[in-house]
Structure 1
Amino acid sequence: MALPRPRPRPRHRSRTRARLRNAALGLALGAVVAAVVPGSSASAAQSSASSETSGTAAASSTVGPFSEPAFTSECVWHHFGEGEKPPLWMWVYDPLCVEYDKRDITIDNGGALRFLLAEPSRFAIAGLSCRYYQRDHWSVQKSSGDVPYVTWDGQYWWDKGARRAGLRVTNFRINGTSAGIGDAVTALRPHFPELAGALEQFGEESGESGVSVTLPFSLPCSLAG
């Protein structure tokens, strides 16, 4: 006959709250990081994104708020309309900075099909780039004029030589309802102000979420300088 297990001793309430706060923060950051770099690990959350570095200075794995890449001032932006494919030779640009309209991902008018046909070329030039910055504008709906299933404006960049990447999503809505870290901050602030304060650097406005992460080492991009 198994002996009854002794009840665990209750822990101090403030200690429990601290652990819950840290766990919630880790889960929120992990979800965003997974969207940027699947499989990456976040070992520390930074309160500032000023640690944009290159080479061995970026060797430690870090997570921080979204910030613009150091090469933003070098960008020459190339704009592509709905379903428009970029030429494959564009991967030679360094940095490569592109903007895509993806607002007509519509099921019943062929917009969704045109979107799918254009994506392979877009992924191809992105994957070959050492310094890449993309902005895009999404809207997915069944018919023109319907409330979209999902909408957002995105910013995504990486600098493989510096081993840094960033993602920021704004105006994110599902069936017209705003969703993002900024919305979580607003909901949490009256009851959990410390947690809200920790999260707001990753999103302040409704529908906003942003993060920057460390990338794995890339030998070709490091040699390219």
Structure 2
Amino acid sequence: MMKRSVQAASIWMFLLLGACTKEPGYHVSEYQEIKFEDVPEEVKIPTKAWDLLEFKPAVEGATSLGKNLIFSELTVYLVEKNPGVVEGEAIKIQLPRGGGTIDLSRFITDRRGTFYVGFEFPEFTDATGKKVLFLSKARKRRLGSEIFGAGCNQYFDITDEFFKKMKAEGLKVNSTQDRYLSVLGGSFLFAAEKGADVHLAQVRFTNSQQPQFFCEER
């Protein structure tokens, strides 16, 4: 479940590896399907991020009618580019209403290489408003001359970039030196507006074997 938090956060640039290519990415013909049925854990979300998810007017003083919040289903895809990176090569994870948490240690091996992440939120179909946010829970760390990880409790509106990536190969990440944990560590939040209803879902990425890369929960 998603829960409000009064803590504000600055919006930072959200970076992913590589540009769009003609590779199939996460769009493959066969997947190993896994269905999660556990009740989602609560996710604390900054108040301003909640306002974006509820499609509240950005103009100060403007009023908006209350929305009906409906928790909906979400599907996540993990597909390897380099052999042996993803357990099972191509995984399709079906999350229950509201979403859930994916422990990447179950699906990503110790082999170095690249894999793709894709998302399917059916409620985006026929939606008049669409929003995708990323709430980072990855600590910043330096690898060579580059900084990986957006920092604790930072949120980003990635809507436009998200749809570009999903139409192409998906999110392209690399497991060398656990870079993917610094990119994916946190929650992807989805909202689809349909009249007076807002359909919501989230997926949180963690790794129980590498807790040092993640922010402490409060």
**Normalising to structure 2: TM-score of the pair?**
0.29
Q: Which has the higher strand share?
A: 2
- Please say which structure displays the higher CA radius of gyration: 1
Higher RCO, 1 or 2 (CA under 8 Å, sep at least 6)? 2
Q: Which has the higher helix share?
A: 1
